Structures are given as C-alpha cells and as structure tokens.
C-alpha cells in the first residue's frame, strides 16, 4: 500500500514576524506599492549585497520582462541563454520578439557552458542571460569578458541565487545579481527568502535606473512625483504594472531579518545530504552536486543525478512509497513543443541529461533530522539493492 506523503518537497518557513509587519503596513494606510516596507527591502538589498538599485516586482518573471524592455529588445534580436532553465527566462525575451539561441549546460553542472557561447554570437546577438542554477554561480568572468568584447548586455537570472557569491579572477567576492548590467530575483514560496509570490529587478548599470522606475509604474513618472521631484506626473514611456503591494514587502522584510538564521539551517541540511550520499558517489552509483571553486553555495536546493531516466523514475516511486515527495523539473527548452522547430537540429546533450537524470530532494528550514535521515535511508537502500 502506498504511504501517505508526509514529507513534502517544500514547506514555506515563517519567522513569526510576517503578520505583525503586515498589520503595520495595513495600519500605515499605504498598502499599494512603494510603501515603507518596500523601502526597507530596497535598502536591505542595496546595503547588504552592494546592488546599485533595487525595485521589488510582483514576480521574477516581471523583473525579467522589465529587463527585456529596458534593453529595447526588438524582433530579430538574438538572446543567448541556457536550455536548462524555467520558461520565464525565455518568455521575457520571446514577448519582445527575440530569437532564442540556446547554449548547452556544462558536463558536470546544469549552468550554461561558457566555453560554448562564443561560437553562438552573431551580429544580431544583444544579450547573454546566465542562470545561476541552484544558486551556484556561472563563470561570470568569462561571460562578462565576452559581453565586453562584443558589446553585449548581461542579465543575470538569479531567481535561485539570493545570498550566493562569485569570486572572480581578481580575488574579489561579489554577490550574484551584482555583476551583470541587470539581474532578476524570485521570492516565490519555494525560494530561500520568500513572500509567497514576488520578485526583484536589480539595476547595476546606472543608465537604466530612471527608466526602470518609469516602466515599473505603467510608463509614468509617478515615482518622481511622489518624491516631490516634479509637480505632476504623466505617461512618458511604455510600461506595465509591475509593483507589488507593500503587504508583500512587509512579509518579505520579516524574512530578510532572518536571512542568516535561514541560510545557516539550509546549509546544514545540504551538508547532511552531501555526506550521506558520498558513499554512493564514491562507488559510482550516482553523482552529487559540484560547486566550482569560484562559487559559493546558498543551499537553495539539493539534488542527486541518477544514471538514467528509468532509474530516476524508479527512485521517485521508491521515495513516494515511503511518504517522501521528490521532484524533477526543466525539460530542455530547445526541445519543447513551442520552440523545437525554431531551434533546429543542434544537439544539447548535457541539458538533456539533466532533464532526464536530475532529482531534487526535500529542502526546507523545518526539515527535521529524523525526516532527513529517513529520506537518506530510502535512497541508500534503493541503490544498495541495484
């Protein structure tokens, strides 16, 4: 008989201050966008991570769409991005008419293979979009050097990369999201720091800062009006409604105050998994996540790499029978029904490998040692029987 699923894949963590701050936001009388808690969040991100300018959005998808508008993507422009990513990375640019040029993952890491990018650049290339999968940095020195050489923009998809860092060739450690011209973060409930739904656009190139405010405010200069810089506001550019309510910002700020605590616990869970499965990796039965020397690990997720799609399906079933929810994701975008014909016949074998073989395990703040041990026991028993 199938067990009841009592170890979920994800469980949102509440610090205890969320509803208190939401009450404060409501009592302030300013519960639309850009209230006092939105400002607190902006200040936190800019001071803590060195971002030039931050704008909370209703989702990471919206932040990416704002980036595409800011970079004036037009039909025929080419955007280089990984195939192994969530559809929002691609949709933001498809909506502006761009042609997507997918790059393969690295052989031992789902991040984009930077060595493969140069051959894909053409006179129509405008943007490179590195996705920091699992919060692990892409080779940003290599990407930024290519961007400078070919006069391209870089938009970091840092949806999973809060509180994660890249150490460059110069030895300087920088927060992910602070390196590209623009960056997008997610605060979906599956992320380390969350507000249920939510996102943020980071503007590191000052020339985009003022226009980003306008685009975010339906194409108006209302933000400048509320700061008292102009005596009236009007429609001055294209835009949409990308502002989140200050209620969401209040929730998010409570999470930010507990960032250190949350990250400490998640890293403990990640290390427990890594140590438990080392014996399987040493015996060649599965592969574990690898963190490059230039990257830090923010413990956004923990995954194992099975040897085949069939093996992964069997492992998912074994976990489910023991009441454990484990998931896979990201079918390669280059072979999707929506884009396969446009992509053509160029093979991306590493992306397809991760699509078939990567399995994410439960990862959340309140995952108990007992429940984690149970998950590990199921997986160890599964492979010992193979």
pLDDT tens column, 250-288: 999 999 999 999 999 999 999 999 999 999 999 999 999
Q: Residue 304 belongs to what H/E stretch?
A: strand 303-305
Res 100 pLDDT > 60 = yes
* Whole-angstrom distance, CA of residue 199 vs CA of residue 81: 20
Of 54 and 224, the structure prediction assigns the larger pLDDT to 54
Res 4 pLDDT > 90 = no
Structure tokens that stand for 301 in this block: 């997720």
Res 5 pLDDT > 80 = no
* Whole-angstrom distance, CA of residue 326 vs CA of residue 386: 19
Which has the closest alpha carbon to 89: 304, 332, 342, 356? Answer: 332
Mean pLDDT of 23-35: 94
pLDDT tens column, 160-195: 999 999 999 999 999 999 999 999 999 999 999 999
- Report pLDDT for 231: 86
The set of residues, in sequence order, having a beta carbon less than 8 Å from that of 73 and lying 6+ positions away, is: 79, 93, 96, 97, 98, 126, 127
Residues forming CATH 3.40.640.10 domain(s) in the chain: 18-257
- Report pLDDT for 224: 86
pTM of the predicted model, to two decimals? 0.96
Structure tokens that stand for 286 in this block: 């599965």
Question: What are the start-end ranges of the E strands in 140-274?
Answer: 153-157, 165-167, 173-175, 182-186, 199-203
Mean pLDDT of 307-329: 97
Residues constituting the chain: 386
Residues forming CATH 3.90.1150.10 domain(s) in the chain: 259-384
- Report pLDDT for 184: 98
- Report pLDDT for 227: 81
Give the Cβ contact number of residue 380 at 10 Å: 15
The set of residues, in sequence order, having a beta carbon less than 8 Å from that of 341 and lying 6+ positions away, is: none
Mean pLDDT of 228-247: 93
Correct CATH for 18-257 of 3.20.20.70, 3.30.450.40, 3.40.640.10, 1.10.287.130: 3.40.640.10
pLDDT tens column, 347-361: 999 999 999 999 999
Contact (Cβ atoms closer than 8 angstroms) between residue 149 and residue 121:
no
Res 1 pLDDT > 70 = no
Which has the closest alpha carbon to 199: 155, 244, 164, 250? Answer: 244
> CA neighbours within 13 Å on the CB side: how many for 206?
0
pLDDT tens column, 126-140: 999 999 999 999 999
* Whole-angstrom distance, CA of residue 294 vs CA of residue 83: 23
* Whole-angstrom distance, CA of residue 173 vs CA of residue 363: 26
- Report pLDDT for 262: 98
Across 150-178, b (16+ Cβ under 10 Å) vs e yields eebbbbbbbbbbbbbbbbeeeeeebbbbb
pLDDT tens column, 187-231: 999 999 999 999 999 999 999 999 999 999 999 998 888 788 888
Contact (Cβ atoms closer than 8 angstroms) between residue 57 and residue 63:
yes
CATH topology of domain 259-384: 3.90.1150
Most confidently modeled of 32-36, 152-156, 337-341? 152-156
- Reported confidence tier of residue 3, pLDDT bands at 50, 70, 90: low
Mean pLDDT, the chain, as a whole number?
Answer: 96
Which has the closest alpha carbon to 175: 208, 135, 144, 145? Answer: 135
* Whole-angstrom distance, CA of residue 375 vs CA of residue 322: 8
Instruction: Convert 228-266 into a string of H (helix), E (strand) and C (coil).
Output: CCCCCCCECCCCCECCCCHHHHHHHHHHHHCHHHHHHHH
* Whole-angstrom distance, CA of residue 136 vs CA of residue 143: 15
- Report pLDDT for 232: 86
């Amino acid at each position: 008989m199938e067990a009841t699923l009592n170890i979920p894949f994800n469980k949102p963590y509440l610090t205890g201050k969320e509803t208190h701050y939401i009450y404060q936001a409501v009592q302030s009388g300013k519960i639309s966008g850009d209230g006092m808690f939105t400002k607190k969040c902006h200040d936190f991100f800019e001071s803590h991570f060195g971002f030039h300018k931050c704008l909370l959005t209703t989702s990471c998808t919206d932040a990416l769409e704002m980036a595409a508008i800011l970079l004036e993507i037009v039909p025929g422009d080419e955007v280089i991005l990984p195939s192994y990513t969530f559809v929002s990375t691609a949709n933001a640019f498809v909506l502006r008419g761009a042609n997507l040029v997918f790059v393969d993952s690295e052989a031992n890491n789902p991040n984009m293979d930077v060595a493969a990018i140069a051959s894909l650049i053409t006179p129509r290339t405008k943007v490179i979009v590195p996705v920091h999968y699992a919060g692990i940095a892409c080779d940003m020195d290599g990407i930024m050097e290519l961007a400078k050489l070919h006069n391209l923009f870089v938009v970091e998809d840092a949806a999973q990369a809060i509180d994660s860092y890249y150490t460059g060739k110069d030895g300087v450690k920088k927060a992910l999201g602070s390196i590209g011209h623009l960056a997008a973060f997610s605060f979906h409930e599956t992320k380390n720091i969350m507000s249920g739904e939510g996102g943020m656009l980071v503007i590191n190139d000052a020339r985009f800062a003022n226009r980003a405010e306008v685009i975010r405010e339906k194409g108006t200069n209302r933000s400048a009006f509320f700061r008292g810089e102009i005596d009236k506001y009007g429609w001055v550019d294209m835009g949409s409604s990308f502002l989140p309510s200050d209620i969401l910002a209040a929730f998010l700020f409570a999470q930010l105050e507990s960032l250190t605590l949350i990250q400490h616990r998640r890293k403990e869970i990640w290390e427990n998994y890594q140590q438990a499965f080392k014996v399987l990796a040493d015996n060649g039965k599965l592969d574990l996540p690898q963190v490059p020397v230039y990257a830090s690990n923010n413990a956004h997720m923990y995954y194992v790499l099975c040897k085949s799609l069939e093996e992964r399906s069997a492992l998912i079933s074994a976990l489910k029978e023991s009441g454990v929810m484990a998931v896979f994701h990201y079918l390669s975008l280059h072979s999707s029904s929506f884009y396969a014909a446009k992509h053509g016949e160029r093979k991306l074998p590493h992306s397809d490998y991760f699509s078939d073989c990567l399995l994410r395990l439960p990862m959340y703040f309140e995952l108990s040692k007992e429940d984690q041990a149970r998950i590990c026991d199921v997986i160890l028993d599964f492979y010992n029987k193979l």
